[in-house]
């Protein structure tokens, strides 16, 4: 028996035993709708997520971000590092703003779009991390 357990707020974002292709249209549409609240033209905060071949992970991270409770105008940008899987298809289906990264090195990927942003705050996020609903306050 494990002494540790996951916080309850993470569990809905795990999509246990499901790859992105296994999600129903209703699940995809619900996630897309929740993410639409984090798509501002003049954001105060940008959450930049570098991704390379994250087809079956990125939607979990985006799901946790979609539950964010914040008073800031937030945008999410996923910096796709020329993924060879269906990462871009997942992002397109979810309506997430993306940017292509011409660099192969991971450190350059992490910084690619951050220098182009004019918001007051920019937050870099890994593609396999969960964010608490109050994590962007």
Predicted TM-score (pTM) of the model is 0.79
Q: For residue 100, what are the β-bridge partners?
A: 80
CA–CA gap between residue 53 and residue 87 (Å, rounded)? 6
Give the DSSP H or E segment for 35: helix 25-35
pLDDT of residue 103: 63
Residue 106 structure tokens:
């991971």
Give the DSSP H or E segment for 113: none
CATH topology of domain 38-124: Rossmann fold (3.40.50)
Q: Tell whether the model's pLDDT for residue 92 goes beyond 70.
A: yes
Whether residue 96 contacts residue 127, with contact meaning beta carbons closer than 8 Å, is answered with no
Listed by start position, the domains of the chain span: 38-124
Question: Using one digit for the tens of pLDDT, what is the confidence trace for 52-85?
Answer: 899 999 999 999 999 888 888 888 889 888 899 9
pLDDT of residue 115: 53
Residue 61 structure tokens:
């991270």
């Amino acid at each position: 028996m494990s002494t540790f357990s996951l916080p309850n707020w993470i569990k809905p974002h795990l999509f246990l035993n499901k790859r992105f292709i296994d999600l129903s249209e209703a699940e995809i549409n619900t996630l897309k709708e929740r993410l639409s609240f984090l798509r501002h033209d003049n954001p105060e905060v940008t959450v930049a997520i570098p991704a390379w071949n994250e087809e079956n992970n990125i939607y979990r991270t985006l799901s946790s971000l979609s539950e964010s409770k914040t008073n800031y105008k937030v945008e999410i940008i996923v910096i796709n590092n020329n993924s060879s899987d269906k990462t871009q298809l997942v992002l397109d289906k979810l309506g997430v703003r993306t940017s292509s990264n011409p660099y192969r090195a991971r450190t350059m990927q992490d910084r690619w779009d951050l220098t182009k942003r004019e918001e007051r705050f920019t937050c870099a996020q890994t593609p396999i991390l969960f964010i608490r609903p109050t994590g962007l306050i």
